[in-house]
Structure 1
């Protein structure tokens, strides 16, 4: 682990310590590491150096909006290779919250999220995207003959996605 020292003026140090306390960080080092990771991730995404991602798309929508459920479902089916899972929660008699877990090429995930959020009746859409690399340099593969955690042989093709660091 590399160590370095930074100097902060008193006001900035006090504001930083208040920020750390509000988020319940154990120490300044953990907070600085998270800030650096977040900034490096923003840079990767801004410069399109991220080719693959995992993402969480959350949005609130009007339950009774004409054909909205069907339109969103059609979008998910049209992009089934991106959609991992979804969860639906009823907020009240009019509004629902849906969260969709996604993975795949960053540009396609962003385009899918934009299409969902642009649907009439969808509001408060937010995409949380994390760049990933294909872990260990392996492409799609299977673990032939290995037992999965379900006790059956795991022969399905899959890939390991590791968060970019």
Structure 2
């Protein structure tokens, strides 16, 4: 892929914010950070357009609450056309993390993730999506 160079003018406050972003996220330079931000914006625009995307729903909960795994499995079965796989990990004595790989229209994946994340007992949940095509 060919790389094109161009100049960008930013006010001092925005430049400082960019430099902090570069440092906080360990980018090698400003160019990589800008590329990342542009790509992130393009992906988010695809979500809004309801394009086909791939991603993961991540949920963390107390593993002693066995009914959460069953309810999660029920939701996944109900939406099996969009579920690629799932994997679980014991994080420590109390916490379990399930990662559910998904692919489909962004609105549908958002709906599925909201069902999973809103299960009673979920301590933390997040949907991460990226372009699939």
**TM-score between both structures, scaled by the size of structure 2:** 0.84
Q: Unaligned regions of 5+ residues in structure 1, if any?
A: 133-161
Residue aligning to 1:5: 7
Provide Cα deviations, 1:17-53, integer angstroms capped at 9, x if missing partner.
232133222222111111111122223323xx23211
SS in 2 for 1:42: helix
Provide Cα deviations, 1:49-68, integer angstroms capped at 9, x if missing partner.
23211011111112222522
Let me know the Cα RMSD of the aligned residues: 1.9
Residue aligning to 2:72: 72
SS in 2 for 1:3: coil
Q: Distance in 2 between matches of 1:91 and 1:45?
A: 30
Residue aligning to 2:121: 121
SS in 2 for 1:84: strand
Shift of 1:81: 1.8
Residue aligning to 2:53: 53
Query: What is the aligned length?
Result: 131
By relative contact order (CA 8 Å, sep 6+), the higher-ranking structure is 2
Shift of 1:106: 1.9
**TM-score between both structures, scaled by the size of structure 1:** 0.70
Residue aligning to 1:44: 46
Residue aligning to 1:18: 20
Shift of 1:86: 1.5
- Could you say which structure has the higher helix fraction? 2
Shift of 1:109: 1.4
Please show how residues 79-98 of structure 1 align to structure 2 within 5 Å.
79-98=79-98
Residue aligning to 1:101: 101
Shift of 1:125: 0.6
SS in 1 for 2:110: helix
